[in-house]
Amino acid sequence: MGWNTWNAYSWNVTELDVRNAADALVETGFRDAGYEYLVVDDCWMAEELADDGSFRNHPEDFPAGIADLADYVHDRGLKFGIYSSAGTETCAGHEASLGNEQRHAEQFAEWGVDYLKYDNCGDHRDRDAIDRYAAMGEALERVDRDVVYSICEWGNNEPWRWGRNVDGHLWRTTGDILAKWKRSEDDEFGLGVVDIIDEMDERDIAGYHGPNGWNDPDMLQVGNGPDSAQSQSEGFTVDQPFREAEQRTHFSFWCLFAAPLMAGNDLRELDETTREILLNEDAIAIDQDPLGIQGTRDETDGDREVWSKRLDGGECAVILLNRGDEPVDIETSVETVDLHLSDDVGSYAVTDVWNGEEWTTDGSLEATVDSHGVAFFRVGAA
């Protein structure tokens, strides 16, 4: 869990922005809720490498240097993350790490980096993805520091099949997420929330997911919309706002997927709805369940869907999803979802993740669900 600079600041991130974000993660309670990694995305570096191939910090935007910035982040009880790419250039056009993996891994360790997001932009020099990502994975293993290795390969070459083998801890399964419900025909890049939900199921990747090796459906867009920095990028089509119900659906599914939770909202403008969604303790507990199981789809009836995942202790988490444009009633039962309790359970305890209500049932699970919304339950023995 953590927070990444890209969606809030995009290409314009500065050292001051990162320091302010570190302070805000503490002051808002995000750190204490589990958002411990502060990751600086693209554009922290000078456009060109030093003569010996080393990274140089951007002289105007990061004047104090990365080691000093990492110290500031660590002093606030957070962990520090950084960005590069497995190509000749980053996505913003700065020189990256291909061919300089060991030198850069050593720099990261010296600076106190705890997390590396490793993108897929730039010239690949005819090297395949496994070779390029293995080179950095091996370099990180050789340094005297534990660094979480995030493989941002966009799912192009099925990294869930080989990510663990190149020392990765998480790997992107899809293209970039947009702050919207569904991708428009006019969008030149990226996917909406429901597009990614579908890809996570259709690619049949849940079996590759678990502790120390996570399928990553990309960063959270909760709290963002057409005015966010990333959404101003060329190719983003503003066709409708990213509604509250859609943002709750987004967070609910990322928690059901046991996905890495990397927030990207502008902490300077944190509204109560965004705070309520991102700091929901019951949802986070489902995401962080020790079994680390990725939820899957159990049932489909037109726009009505049922999803679930098993939790530690035999309980399960359940989502009732309404894809349609009007509220609908959705019904299912404990026999349909991924619940693992003894056969002699007479009744079941249900907790609504979003409103905190609790009740018992003989097995039926039902709710009236808003358009593009979910009902999100935790189910166990009464």
Q: How many residues make up the chain in this entry?
A: 382
Which one of the listed residues 176, 239, 282, 352 is annotated catalytic? 176
Residue with token string 């993805």: 129
CA distances from 79 to 76, 113, 352 (A): 9, 8, 32
Phi-psi region of 56 (alpha: psi -120 to 50; beta: other; left: phi over 0): beta
Separation CA 147–CA 357 (nearest Å): 40
- Name 24's Cβ contacts closer than 8 Å, sequence gap at least 6: 30, 267, 268, 270
- Name 32's Cβ contacts closer than 8 Å, sequence gap at least 6: none
The answer to whether residue 216 is catalytic is no
The answer to whether residue 303 is catalytic is no
Q: Which two tokens stand for residue 131?
A: 């070779």
Cβ-contact 269, 28 below 8 angstroms: no
Other beta carbons within 10 angstroms of residue 9's beta carbon come to 22
Which one of the listed residues 114, 119, 195, 218 is annotated catalytic? 119
Catalytic residue annotation: 119, 176
